Each structure stands twice: as C-alpha cells, then as structure tokens.
Amino acid sequence: LRDGGLEGEHAPALTIKDSKPFGFDVFNYVLTQLSNYILAGKSQSRGLVVVAYSRSPSFYVDLLKRGIDIASIHILDCYTDPLGWKNWLQDVRNLDKLYSLIIEQGKGLIGQGKDRFSIAIDSVSEMVRHASISSVAGILSNLRSHDQVSSIFWLLHSDLHEIKFTSVLEYLSSMVASVEPENLSMLEQNFRKGKFHVRFKRRNGRIRVMCEEILVELAGIKFINQRLLPKVQFNLQLSEEERNERAKVVLPFEHQGNGKPIQIYDGRRSLGEGKGQIIYFRDSDDEMPDSDEDPDDDLDI
Amino acid sequence: MENQYLNLLDRALGLDGPSEPWPLSGRVVLIEDCVETSGSFVLHQLVKRSLSPTSSNVIIFVAFANPFSHYDRILRKLGCNLVTQRDNKRFIFFDMLMLRCPDVDKGKSSEGGLVLLYEKILKTICGLPGDKKDYVTIMMDDISLVEVAANGGSDYVLDFLHYCHSLTSEFDCSLIMLNHEDIYSSMERPTLILQMEYLADILVKAEPLSTGLATDVHGQLTVLNKGTSHRLGSSGNKIHNFHYKVKENSVEYFYPGSRV
C-alpha cells in the first residue's frame, strides 16, 4: 500500500476481512502506519482521505493524534448523520455524490500536479447497508482506477453479508487480509491473539500467501513474526554457520581475480586488447535463500 | 466506591475504579441472554450502580418490556428507590409498552417512529442541566421489542442504534442494550445481533451451564471487555467468565468451584 500504484494501472486495494470484532484493530494499525508513512514522506501518496462510517471523526483524530497534520489527512464524516435524521447535508445513500466528494477532498489535500492520495474506508459493511452491492462495487472500482488515487483499503465484516458480496470485494482487491482470533472458544487468552492471513495478487497473476500471528494490546496490535514452517524431518532454515559458509562461496564471474582484471577467453584471438568485459550485477543479494520470490516477477508481460 | 460491595460483575465491567469519570461513559454495553438464563439482572445491577450516591449519573431508561412498577419493585429489593430518583430527575423513564413510538399517528412509518424516539432522547439529553449532561446512561430493554415496534424493520432498528451510538461520541454518554440471542439462532445470518456485537465495546453474555440445570448455580456470565485508551495499564480485550445465582434480594457472583 505504501508504494502505491504505477502509472496507468489501478491502485492497489486491500480488503481487511474479519468475522468477529477483531479486524477493527488491524484497520487502525494499517491506518496509523500509512499515515505515518505519508507524513514522513516515505510513501507514494501525499494525502489520506478517511471515510468514516462506524466511528466518529474525533475517534480518528485521537487515533492519529501523534502525527496528524491537518494538511494531509481529511476525514469524511459519514457517521454522525448518515440518513439525515439530524438534517445534516450528508446522505450516504447517494454513492455518486460520495465518489465526487472523496475525489474532491483528495485533490484538495494534494493540490495540483502529479501527486496522489490514499483512501481508507472505515467499514464497507456499513456502506452496503445503505446502497446496493453493485453500486458499492462500482464506487470502489472507480476509486481504484482514478489516476490520482495511490492506494485504497477498507474493512469488511464477512459474517454480515452473503458470500457474493465478500467475493465481489475480494475480486476487486489486490490484497485480502483475513483476521481471525486464535481459537473460536471463549477462553481468556484467545481474544488477544489472532491469525493474520494475507493473499497478494501480483501483476503477473501470481498469488503470494503470508501468515502471521498478531497480539492485541492496548496500544494497538503487534505482529509476532513467526514464520509458520511446516513440521518436517529436515531443517528448512540455515544456521548462522551455514549462512557464513554460503556467503564465502565463490560464484562464477564474481570475486575472481582478486582485484586484477579478469582475462576471459572467448575462443577468438587477435581482437586486440580484450575490450570485452563481463560486468555482473547480482540483484538477488537481498533475497533470503529459498525464498518464494520469483526472479521473473518484475517482468512486464 | 466501597470495595466490600463490589462483586465480580462490577470488576469485569471496569466499575471497580474511581466512580468519576464514570468508567462506562462513551462506551456501548450489549447484554445477550436467552430464555433459560435471563440477563435482566445485569441491567438491574447497572441501574443500581449508576444511581449510586457517589456518582452523578442520569439514566434514560427506554422500556419496551416492562412497566415502571416492575423495575421499581426489583430495584427496591436491591436497595435503590426509583421513585425518589425519578423525582430527582436522575431516572428518566420512557414507557414504550404500547409498542408504539411516542407521538406517532397512524400512517407514519416505523422509521419515522424511531426517528422521533431518537429525537426525544436527544432533546432530553440537551435539556439536562450543564453538569448532568456529561453523565448520561441510555438503557434499552429490550432491542427485540424495538424490532417488533418497527414492524420487523431491523434495518431501521440498526439505523436507530447507529444514531444512539453517535450520541455516545457526541455527549460521552453510555449505551446499554439488552437483546435475546436465542431469537436469532435459527436465522442463517442474524444480521441484527451481529451488528450489535460489532457496535458494542463490552459484551455480557448470560448462558446456561454446559452441564445443564442446577440448584446452586443459575448460569454463567461471560464478559468481553474491549479495552480503551482510558484504562491505563490494562491490555485490550479482557475476558471474564464466572457463575451466578439469582437470590431474592441480590445476585451472587462467584468463580466456578469456589463456593462451598
């Protein structure tokens, strides 16, 4: 989400799906992280529009208090008076109007130019209470394809809807994060720990799945980075020693010559000074051994 | 609050700290019960605690289930005089027993009726004197009957609850609702009760024991308290589970197996 979308492509979209009241903490976590990145200038997006349905805007102000900068974050209030009972102007049933309002707010945050902004929707489950499934899907799709939207994410309570609606949203998103408590029984510890599954859809069609444990605490949630390895009878990870040995292995075209120019025999003679050179840039240096990264991932096919 | 009168339920709800600011202000409590184990005693306990002399709470009690005399009789046994409190304007009773929202003429929609009810609550809160405005507790007994009053329009009920929720952020009041879980158990997707669970900060469930009926124990209470930033030093999502026995003048709460 931080890196945003590329020119000419739809913005990455994240669905946070839960079926017990757990996902809201995850939503808040993503929200605070993204806003921190935006404020620090580390993300593609320069502004954030929060569409608040299930909590009041003041809740989000308090949540983002530490880093809030009015100039880059705007909260759209769909909470206080969604149906006009208080005679406010906001009527959430008109999604076209909502779309224009979001875009307007976003543009207002980033000004002219090629900057982009992100959108966070508090609860798509609330949104669909007042509008049809197709119009909600429509507005989300339109938001995703707008050039100035860098990324978008929303929270969905999957137990409140038909499978159809959840599926529609999953198709629309490039990432789906499901949150569930560790155990469905009501034991003391179990409401603090949970599992966080993410499915990433890559541009080239590949799917990547990640699973982590989370711990719910007062200040938010914490990710316990336990790589859940399958239990097999051989060691799937490298020890420190093994890692060092691996680093010492001399690879072809690298680390040879010990500083002296390398003479490469290419089968031909009399071509004058060897003008030929092989310059090898290994770009897999950051990759962990046996990682799932597909080296062809960055191919733009 | 004197510690000797606190029981496990008070502790689970967070009422064992100082009574000002009221620990439940700005929070939503959902009490779920079923036919075998009625949860109304939790509501009565909360009425008693809210109206204790050390706090300055005002209760707006929206009653669809029972008349004032019923609650008066029960609270009297618990040691609380509702008539006096009503005269002191600390206990405001909305009698909704006719299952019709106030001032609804024939022909007005159920949504309209709920809007009017919401407006009446809002007007009452705004009409309170300045110092009392921050300590309002709205109690609803019970939501399944609100649905009946709305002629089955659970969407309207949800809208109404959403607006009541907005009152908690606007005025810092607390919202306490009672609903029956077993009514919805036959539904494939019990949206109303699920939405209420999402709305609630504290969930109190009264269930029978898994072992069945007993004379000494009437049921078990499970309290899920999603912590807020107001409570320093506690982590989010605390669960409490204990048993209870309803007696003539009080309710006893105890951990399983701790009673002789």
What is the tens place of the pLDDT at every residue in B52-80? 887 788 899 998 888 899 999 998 988 88
Fold (CATH) for A13-223: Rossmann fold (3.40.50)
Q: What does CATH list as the number for B21-99+111-202?
A: 3.40.50.300
Lowest mean pLDDT among A130-144, A200-214, A246-260, B165-179: A246-260
Question: Which own/partner pairs from A241-248 qualify as long-range (CB within 8 Å, at least 24 positions apart)?
Answer: A246/A289
**What's the CA gap between A131 and A183, in Å, rounded?**
34
pLDDT digits (tens, 9 = 90+) for B165-193: 888 888 888 899 999 888 887 777 778 88
User: CB–CB of B31/B39 below 8 Å?
Assistant: yes
- If interface means Cβ-Cβ distance under 8 Å, which residues of chain A face chain B? 21, 25, 54-56, 58-59, 62, 79-83, 85-86, 129, 157, 159-162, 186-188, 190-192, 216-218
User: CB–CB of B139/B61 below 8 Å?
Assistant: yes
Any idea what DSSP says for residue B54?
T
In this prediction, residue A232 carries a pLDDT of: 58
Contacts of A81 in chain B (CB under 8 A): 166
**What's the CA gap between B223 and B8, in Å, rounded?**
10
Residue spans per domain, chain B: 21-99+111-202
What pairs with residue A150 in β-bridges? none
Closest CA to B13 of B226, B209, B172, B168: B226
In this prediction, residue B177 carries a pLDDT of: 92
pLDDT digits (tens, 9 = 90+) for B207-219: 888 887 788 888 8
In this prediction, residue A126 carries a pLDDT of: 82
Q: How far is CA A47 from CA A68, A107, A116, B152, in A?
A: 11, 9, 7, 43
Q: Do A56 and B158 touch (CB under 8 A)?
A: no
Q: Do B169 and A85 touch (CB under 8 A)?
A: no
Average pLDDT value for chain A:
69
Average pLDDT over residues A27-41: 74
pLDDT band at A277 (very low <50, low <70, confident <90, very high): low
In this prediction, residue A137 carries a pLDDT of: 87
pLDDT digits (tens, 9 = 90+) for A208-236: 777 766 666 555 556 655 554 555 566 66
Cβ neighbours of residue A109 under 8 Å, at least 6 residues apart? A46, A47, A48, A49, A71, A72, A73, A74, A117
Token pair 């409490």 in the structure block, residue: B240
Q: Do B194 and A83 touch (CB under 8 A)?
A: no
In this prediction, residue B2 carries a pLDDT of: 44
B residues 151-210 closer than 8 Å to A (CB): 155, 158-159, 162-163, 166, 169-170, 189, 191, 194-195, 197-199
Average pLDDT over residues A84-113: 73
Token pair 């993300």 in the structure block, residue: A43
Lowest mean pLDDT among A69-83, A97-111, A269-283: A269-283
Q: DSSP readout, A138-198?
A: HHHHHHHH-TTEEEEEEEEEGGGS-HHHHHHHHHH-SEEEEEEES-SS--TGGGTEEEEEE
B123 — phi, psi (to 5°)? -65, -40
Which chain B residue has its CA at the smallest distance from A187's CA?
B239
Is residue A286 scored above 80 in pLDDT?
no
- Tell me which residues of chain B have a pLDDT lower than 50: 1-4, 102-107, 229-235
- In this structure, the dihedral spanned by the alpha carbons of residues A87, A92, A97 and A101, taken in order and rounded to 10 degrees, is 90
**In chain B, where does DSSP find H-type helix?**
8-13, 40-50, 68-78, 82-87, 110-126, 143-149, 154-171, 191-199
Instruction: Enter the tokens of residue B83.
Output: 């008539």
pLDDT digits (tens, 9 = 90+) for A162-200: 888 888 888 888 878 787 766 544 444 445 566 677 777
Using DSSP's 3-state secondary structure scheme, residue A257 falls into helix
Could you give the count of Cα atoms lying within 13 Å of A18 in the half-sphere of its Cβ?
24
In this prediction, residue B237 carries a pLDDT of: 65
The ipTM assigned to this model is 0.75
Whole-model pTM over 0.80:
no
pLDDT over 70 for what percent of chain A? Answer: 51
**In chain A, where does DSSP find H-type helix?**
23-40, 57-63, 95-110, 124-127, 133-145, 163-172, 240-248
Number of CB atoms found within 10 A of residue B94's CB: 19
Query: Residues of A184-216 as b/e, b for ≥16 C-beta within 10 angstroms?
Result: eeeeeeebbebbbebbbbeeeeeeeeeeeebbb
Contacts of A193 in chain B (CB under 8 A): none
In this prediction, residue B233 carries a pLDDT of: 39
Is residue A66 scored above 60 in pLDDT?
no
Residue spans per domain, chain A: 13-223
Smallest Cα distance from A258 to chain B, Å: 57
